[in-house]
Every structure is written in structure tokens, then in C-alpha cells.
Amino acid sequence: MKKVIAYQVVLLLVILAGFLLFKVLTIPEWILQIKLAINCCMIAALGGILYCLRSVYLNRCVHNRWDEQWEVWYYLRPITSSICGVVAYLFLKASLVVLDASQNVDSGEYGYLAFAFLAGLNVDKFVEKIEDLGKSLFGIEKSRVSKSSSENK
């Protein structure tokens, strides 16, 4: 459990350093062109880390049901969250998902970042919604994983 916590905290520090570096360093133009996508990736990873850290204290301290078998999940969850952040960015940028009909010009990147955070915080529901969107737009069937998880509800 201590390794999981250390891993999550190190990832948290790396992401916070990434945000700080965008503020203090002179960033090349090609990176600035994808800055919002990178920020969505990092903010989604923060959502995944928050979910994992909360899960650690709930499963260890509140419910007393910590199981080492789940450690792989704790290592991979922030990675899958960051991927969902990039996917959220792509879907927003492609206008396949619309946040609000009356866009606030002053909000800038915040809508993207909020959506990416939610995607990283709840990967399972985000993937399920993206698969629903794929089915409705392109007729793509849900994956076996999504089908089996929705059958267990």
C-alpha cells in the first residue's frame, strides 16, 4: 500500500511541476500549439490520482478491505485517466461533445479542463458515454467490457 501511495504522490508532484513549467519556462511554439491538449491530459490525470488516493483511504481505513491484488489498478488508473483527458479534448475540439449552447468567451480553457477532469475522475462512465456516442454517430457497437459491465448493473 505504501508503494501505491508513493507512486500516486510522485505522479501528483510531476503533474504539478508540469503545470508550473508551463508558467515559468519559454515553451517552443509547437508545444504551445498543443498546450490545451497537454493540460487536459494532466488535469485528467489529477482526477485519476484524486480517485485513487480517495480509494486508498476508503479501502484501507474506512472499510478495512485493502487487497494487494488491486495494486495494478492503482498504478494504471492515472494513465488511463490521462488518456481519457486527451480523448475528451479531441471530442470537444471536434464538436462531437458540446458543453454549453451559450459559450462564455471569458471561460477560455476552463470548459475543456473541467470536462477532462471529470473524464479522468470517472474513467468507466466516460468510456461508456464515448461508446454510446460512437454507437449513435457511427453505429459502432460497445466493447465487450462495456457490455458486461452494463449487464452487471
pLDDT above 70 coverage of the chain, percent: 88
pLDDT band at 134 (very low <50, low <70, confident <90, very high): confident
DSSP string, 87-99: HHHHHHHTTSS-S
Name the amino acid, one letter, at 123. V
Q: Is the pLDDT of residue 105 over 60?
A: no
Please tell me the distance from the alpha carbon of residue 126 to that of residue 88, in angstroms, as a whole number: 9
pLDDT band at 16 (very low <50, low <70, confident <90, very high): very high
pLDDT above 90 coverage of the chain, percent: 63
Q: Is the pLDDT of residue 66 over 90?
A: no
Please tell me the distance from the alpha carbon of residue 54 to that of residue 79, in angstroms, as a whole number: 17
- More confident of the two residues 139 and 44: 44
How much is the pTM? 0.85
Torsional class of 139: left (φ above 0), alpha (ψ -120 to 50), beta (otherwise): left
Reduced DSSP (H G I as helix, E B as strand, rest coil) percent helix, strand, coil of the chain, to 5: 80, 0, 20
Per-residue cell: 55: 480509494
